[in-house]
Structure 1
Amino acid sequence: MSKKILAFIITLSASFVYAQTVPDSLSINPQNQQNAAQRILSGNINTGVTVGGYGEITYNQPEADNGELDVQRLVLLFGYKFNDKVQFVTEIELEHVEEVFVEQAFLQYSLNDNVNLRGGLMLVPMGIVNEYHEPTTFNGVERPSIDGSIVPTTWREIGFGVSGRFDEVSLRYQAYIFNGFSSVNGTKVLGGKNGLRNGRQKGIRSTVDSPNFSAKLDFYGLPGLRLGLSGYFGRTQAEDDVEDIDGTSVGISMVGFDARYAYQRFTARGQFIHASISDTEDYNNLNVADLGSALQGYYVEAAYNLLPLTKQQQLFAFARYEDFDTHASVDGGLMRNDSYDRNEWTFGLSYKVAPGAVVKADYQIKDNAAGSDVPNQLNIGLGVWF
């Protein structure tokens, strides 16, 4: 019996090694970029298990305040290929050493080379970082602030839909029906500072009373350039016993445009997001909240590899400017809060020491329209993806 168990363990370990994904984080061409789930789905194994992971350890030091060291996240990736048409992908995330979440868990059925049916817990395709947030795929120790306050990353919900690509016209598409944000998530309400972030249900006993629609198109027909157009439309979710009361839900119409470009040692990216929120006056009165009727923001970033292209390692110096406002407009008697109209400069270095391993450092200069004192911040981090 012990020999059989040993043989089983050796066989299983060998299959894991064979099935591990090959890191491609040093590929700077946005036309070829894949996230963790896409890399698992495109693996070249016939059947069996694929394993991988990514993680970040960060140090954040605001001016004149205590610094913080954190194992910010460790994500374990698992995929299983049943046959040429059916695959399952999941991500198990451990945040700050003590919290455990399922970030993705979906089943994909491939009808043909261009059409894939999906169902389960999936990322909402909005902007860049919500889908491509592995630490070796973006500059900066922290993700862009817009992708925390407006999008909000990591944004995932339960749903079903279709995805695929048509290489003859250089177009990738996604379209899904999701459950939406919770109008009131436990004791948390939607509000001005973080917009819709408190409403993410994350597949945790999610309330659903009306479907939400999400779609994205990516065009990659020009050398080195990738363009994305995203949309999300629907309403927040309220419990059945109160859903007919004015203010128990709000309508959401969110659109986004993003662009990524790479040429030799130069890369650039940018993103614009606008969300219109309806029925906020009733919602704020009912829930004693300060949710704005419009959220809007953008960022632009440029980076340059200081090392020769002949080197496997890369050292990117980058600068990013962000401008975002979670009170871009307000309804009713709500007063606009200028401290929610924020801008940030981030300057830093990303040293990619090997495929799938990066050391980062940056400095952030923060401000807002109210002129209130916002501390600047030094960030240092380690990131891996394998």
Structure 2
Amino acid sequence: MFSRQLAQLPAPVFASTRHFALTTFLVTTAVSIIGCGGARAADGDANEVLMKKLAKMEQRIEILEAELKQKQTASAEKQTSSSGKNGKPAMVQGSPKDANAAALPDQPKDAPDKPAPKSKPLDVATPPPDKPILGLAPSPVAGLSIGAYGEIKFGAMQNPAANGQWQNGFDAARFVLLPTYAITDNIIFNAEIEFEHAGSGFDADDKLHGTAEIEQLWIDFKIVDQFNWRAPGIDLIPIGYINQHHEPTQFYSVNRPELYNGLIPSTWMAGASSVYGTIADGLTYQFQASSSIEDFGGDFGLRTDANTVPPFPIGYAPGISGLDALALSKPAKGDFRQLSDTVAYAGRLDFTPPVLPGFAGSISGYFSPDVTPRGAYADTGALLGRNGVAMFDAEFRYRVPDTGLELRGEYV
């Protein structure tokens, strides 16, 4: 009876039988055999035969497991080869459970154990990174940037011509355009175009008596950190702090400090060329040659075609005086109408010591060997000789760290 039961066992099929099905089959067979053996426990010979059969069955199970593992390995290698040819990622081999899962056919898309694909998010433009206040939009031309600032004043002003009376008023003080163009990484064009007091006009109904002028116009040639050249153009005279940084946000008063309304004729610019660079960490320099200031304060139209002061006895206002200091002495910037051949020189050292955070300062100087214009004469008509001017400036700024306190001092 036992031998007939063994003879009726079906032969295993490897190609389509899963590992768990084979395991169930083997366990069921083993339990059946053990049950049969328990029924004949009294028969010693039968038990011995049963033990031999069990040993053979164990060997058979081991053989079946080895063959199944071999087929699984071959199937995984075939999938890896096929994935490599199709450009799709291959399944990573893992435990036999993972391998059996890989051998299963693809589940339908609506299978309950597979999450539904997420809907594609709408295309939303990535917000641009933070930009500086003067960089509201990327430039349509690579290397080109345009800055601007303006200054408008409202309020009351004391009028000396009206016996010191306070009068309400308004002034569109200035509007400034700052175009910059990087021709290359080392060649930079810079300009400053300024409209003051609402601009200039010639019609009576415009009621304008302002100006429109170029305050800066030059090209920088960046050579090395220690030495760079600013080509001839219109440039600021490097003396003092406010003359170099004269935007309204750089001083605490409505108008510029008194030092820069005469003693330093801000904004002081002239035809010039300079070299500049870094000497050490926190220490920079600039040396400039420029058109000299002129001791001529008269209207531009009073200059003769020979580029001299008007002849005696017409007379002319001085450009340098005890009342206005150097306020009217700036040279002409166009049409070869300067009244002097003299070249002036200016130098500047800026320092921001790393050992003292918040502290910055500068020392600067200006020298003109002759400020006397062509044809200059005294009140008596006597011709004037050469007269030079030298200036020295020292200033500091200290913003106390982690506070809103700033200390400033300047000597000219």
- State the TM-score, normalizing by the size of structure 1: 0.56
Confirm whether residue 127 of structure 1 aligns to residue 240 of structure 2. yes
Q: CA shift at 1:83, angstroms?
A: 0.5
Answer whether contact 2:296 2:373 (CA < 8 A) is retained.
no
Query: Shift in Å at residue 180 of structure 1?
Result: 1.0
State the shift of 1:79 in Å.
1.0
2:190 corresponds to: 89
Alpha-carbon spacing, 1:237–1:59, altered in 2? closer, same or farther (3 Å): same
Identify the structure with bigger relative contact order (alpha carbons < 8 Å, sequence gap 6+): 1
Number of residue equivalences:
237
Cα distance, 1:46 vs. partner?
A: 10
Does residue 103 of structure 1 match 2:215?
Answer: yes
Q: Distance in 1 between matches of 2:157 and 2:141?
A: 49
8 Å CA contact 1:209, 1:237 repeated in 2: no
Q: Deviations over 1:280-320 (max 9, x none)?
A: xxxxxxxxxxxxxxxxxxxxxxxxxxxxxxxxxxxxxxxxx
Aligned equivalents of 2:386 and 2:195: distance in 1? 31
1:226 corresponding residue in structure 2: 360
Q: Distance in 2 between matches of 1:45 and 1:230?
A: 39
The answer (yes or no) to whether the contact 2:151–2:172 under 8 Å persists in 1 is: yes
Change (3 A) 1:59 1:50: same
Evaluate the alpha carbon distance shift between residue 60 and residue 127 of structure 1 in structure 2; reply closer, same or farther with a 3 A threshold. farther
Q: Conserved in 1, the CA contact under 8 Å of 2:396 and 2:410?
A: no
Tell me how far apart the structure 2 counterparts of residues 135 and 212 of structure 1 sit (CA, whole Å).
28
Which letter does structure 1 place at the counterpart of 2:188? Q
Mapped pair 1:65 → 2:170:
no
How far off is 1:130 after superposition? 0.5
Aligned partners of 1:165, 1:265: CA distance in 2, in Å? Answer: 29
Partner of 2:266: 153
Give 1:56's aligned residue: 151
CA distance in 2, matches of 1:259, 1:109: 29
* Secondary structure at 1:146 match in 2: helix
Moved over 2 A (4+): 21-24, 43-48, 62-65, 185-188, 204-208, 235-243, 245-250, 265-274
Alignment gaps of 5+ in structure 2: 1-127, 159-164, 200-210, 299-315
Structure 1 residues 211 and 48: alpha-carbon distance in aligned structure 2, compared to 1, 3 A threshold: same
Alignment of 1:293-312 (within 5 A): none
Contiguous gaps of at least 5 residues in structure 1: 1-17, 25-38, 275-386
Confirm or deny that 1:247 pairs with 2:359: no
- Alpha-carbon shift at residue 176 of structure 1 (Å): 0.2
Q: Whose radius of gyration is greater, 1 or 2?
A: 2
1:260 partnered with 2:404: no
Tell me how far 1:105 sits from its aligned partner. Answer: 0.5
- Please state how far the C-alpha of 1:165 moved relative to its aligned partner: 2.0
For residue 393 of structure 2, what is the amino acid of its counterpart? G
Alpha-carbon offset, residue 116 of structure 1:
1.4
* Corresponding letter in the other structure for 1:232: Y
* Contact 2:351 2:360 (C-alpha < 8 Å) held by counterparts: yes
Q: CA deviation at 1:66?
A: 1.5
Q: Percent identity?
A: 27
TM superposition score normalised by structure 2: 0.53
SS at match of 1:256: strand
CA deviations 1:204-235 (Å, max 9, x no partner) are 34333121110110111121100210100113
How many angstroms apart in 1 are the aligned matches of 2:272 and 2:333?
10
Q: Answer yes or no: is the 8 Å Cα contact 1:115–1:164 preserved in 2.
A: yes
Return the match for 1:206 from 325, 331, 338: 338
TM-superposed deviation, 1:67:
2.4
Give, in whole Å, the separation in 1 of the partners of 2:361 and 2:156. Answer: 35
Q: Could you list the per-position Cα deviations for residues 247-282 of structure 1 after superposition, in whole angstroms to 9, with x for gaps in the alignment?
A: 3553111000110111222332434333xxxxxxxx
Distance 1:129 1:102, change over 3 A: same
Rounded to whole Å, the distance in 2 between the matches of 1:84 and 1:158 is 25
Q: Matches of residues 1-386 of structure 1 in structure 2 within 5 Å?
A: 22-23=132-133, 48-62=143-157, 64-98=165-199, 99-118=211-230, 119-166=232-279, 168-186=280-298, 187-189=316-318, 190-201=320-331, 203-204=333-334, 205-221=337-353, 222-240=356-374, 247=384, 249-262=386-399, 263-274=401-412
Deviations 1:17-76 (A, max 9, x none): x9xx8349xxxxxxxxxxxxxx9xxx9999521101111001242353222210001111
